[in-house]
Amino acid sequence: MGTSQHISQRIDRNPVEVYIFAANIENLPRWASGVGPDMEIRFAKQNYFGILDHWVTVGGQTFYNPMRVIEDGKGSEVVFTLRDGSDEDAATIAADLATLKRILEEGAG
């Protein structure tokens, strides 16, 4: 069993709004830099708990990515659990979550 790392970002938007935006597969290219045409992405079923777990299939391999939107006062915290990833992977995810924050807080989402 490998190691896990939690990467989080606080967003000054209602958790329902964050969840709806982030769960929309059409919005992914706006904030997730690694999304490409050669991959298949499948999210967990729509839910009221902020669960954004998703499976990414690329090159015949499928990777499970746990992700949550949780209430944080009047805003939200998005938490991505990186499993067996590199420091470069963690930096990319942190940058993607910062982009998500910028888009949502600027009202573009």
pLDDT digit string (tens) for 22-55? 999 999 999 999 898 999 999 999 999 999 999 9
Helix H or strand E encompassing 101:
helix 87-105
The CATH number of the domain holding residue 45 is: 3.30.530.20
Q: Which domain holds residue 44?
A: 4-105
Structure tokens at 7: 């990467």
Nearest-angstrom CA–CA distance, 84 and 17 = 30
The whole model's pTM is what?
Answer: 0.94
Domain count of the fold of the chain: 1
Nearest-angstrom CA–CA distance, 80 and 68 = 7
Terminal C-alpha separation, the chain = 37
